Copies of this chain bind each other. A is one copy, B any other.
Amino acid sequence: MKKDQSKRLQQQIDAINSLVLHQIKPSMQRIAIMDYLITHRTHPSADEIYEKLSIGMPTLSKTTVYNTLKLFASNGAAQMITIDEHQVNFDADTSTHAHFLCKQCGKIYDLSLPELATMPDMQKIEGHLVKEISYFYKGICKDCLAKGTKDSNTN
């Protein structure tokens, strides 16, 4: 179990590095939340993060999770994803990349669309100063297509 221990330690360090890099003073909670974001690339919601972390950290407050995620977002340490109209999801990967939401299972996938990379951030478009870019796709994911054979009409 030595491996697990040292791996977890390295993850913590990665989390702290990301925080410091984005001018966020590390704290128990902030490290835990950033660590969760880094090790779970499934674009979790605030509630999911709270539920999972509060198991090993019973005093964690949901408010702290919300505040912390908002702090991360405004400092560029994480990105807010508003692809789902019901809740906001978060991503430690702040690079401009596209997301796909499966309407059936709800999972959010990363998409690497090379043609999108052509458009640089932080520029003006039609006179507006662009600070954030989001590319969202919705439909039925690979896995759900494989399972259910219904609705396979639209090729």
Contacts and interface: CB of A to CB of B under 8 A. Distances in A.
A140 interface: yes
Contact of A125 (B113, B145, B154): B113
A83 B82 contact: yes
A137 B125 contact: yes
Given A82-B85, A88-B85, A128 B137 contact: yes
Interface stretch (A7-15, A22-30, A115-123): A115-123
A137 B133 contact: yes
A142 interface: yes
B134 A129 contact: no
B129 A145 contact: yes
Contacts of A82: 82-85, 136
A82 B140 CA distance: 18
Given A119-B115, A136-B136, A130 B84 contact: no
Contacts of A131: 103, 138-140, 154
21 contacts: A82-B84, A82-B85, A100-B128, A109-B126, A111-B125, A113-B125, A115-B118, A115-B119, A126-B142, A127-B141, A128-B137, A129-B139, A130-B137, A130-B139, A131-B154, A132-B138, A132-B139, A134-B134, A134-B136, A134-B137, A135-B135
Given A100-B125, A113-B125, A128-B140, 12 more contacts: A82-B82, A102-B128, A109-B128, A115-B118, A115-B119, A127-B142, A128-B142, A131-B138, A132-B137, A132-B138, A133-B136, A134-B134
